[in-house]
Amino acid sequence: MRFCSLLSGGKDSTYALHAAVKEGGEVACVVSVVPRREDSWMFHRPLVELTRLQAESMGLADRHYMLEVSGNKEQEVDELVAGLRRLKESVGFDTLVIGGIASRYQLARFGRIASELGVRLYDPQWGADPEEYMRTLLREGIVYVITQITVYGLDPGLLGVPIDRAELVERIISLARKHGFHPAFEGGEAETFVVKAPLFRKPICLEAERVRVAEFDWRLRVRSAVLCDEPRIVVIAAPAR
């Protein structure tokens, strides 16, 4: 397959791109969608601008495109179709790669997008057991940090911590079981950003600050992000409000 992969910067879209390459697919383009609204129905917003660093690390900077959409329900889908259609005409691809796990809302709309473009939809982790999927990310070498938490029960102390050890994955799974949130954050309970992956030639180093926005809303405010030789995350814990 010659594919175009949607890359938000998070663990799921990064894993989908990884899986497509692992299957022997050829990368025609990597698209990061930038919604103008933070509450987009379809698209991940936190740190999406930093996908440029991820693309550079993967040697895909020349095939990476940022597509801005309104973030308005349904309108943003039509805007993405228009942008992808232009790309298909210029670079050519037969498959659209996405990283959904369980959202039927998103799957239905991405299915429509693929149909309108006349391409195949490839979603390698769709329907996976979420707990086992989190363990798969670790086994496959996808290392990420949690950048936003919007649910009760997920420890804010995990913000900015590289999820690169089994005990951290099992801690997230245990908290999800206890408090009832989706262990892979498919319901928007948290957002992530990948700092190291098999396709990365260099990891990404971050300096960031933990910020409490509301009672159950914590965010990682990134001060700097660069490619580096050894992964390093410096998190400054801001005073709680």
**Which of 6, 75, 5 is closest to 36 using CA atoms?**
75
pLDDT of residue 215: 84
What whole-number distance in Å separates Cα of residue 110 and Cα of residue 42? 9
| Percent with pLDDT over 70 in the chain | 95
The pLDDT of 218-236, averaged and rounded, is 89
Secondary structure letter of residue 226 according to DSSP: E
Residue 209 β-bridge partners: 221, 236
pLDDT of residue 44: 64
CB 169 within 8 Å of CB 135: yes
Token pair listed for 211 = 């910020």
pLDDT of residue 239: 46
Q: How confident is the model at residue 237 (pLDDT cuts 50, 70, 90)?
A: low
107-132 as b/e: b if 16+ CB within 10 A: bebbeebbeebebebbbbbeebebbe
pLDDT of residue 184: 96
The pLDDT of 22-44, averaged and rounded, is 86
Residue 159 β-bridge partners: 146
CB 39 within 8 Å of CB 64: no
**Which of 85, 70, 81, 94 is closest to 2 using CA atoms?**
94
The pLDDT of 67-85, averaged and rounded, is 89
- Pick the range with the lowest mean pLDDT from 70-79, 119-128, 131-140: 70-79
Q: How confident is the model at residue 241 (pLDDT cuts 50, 70, 90)?
A: very low
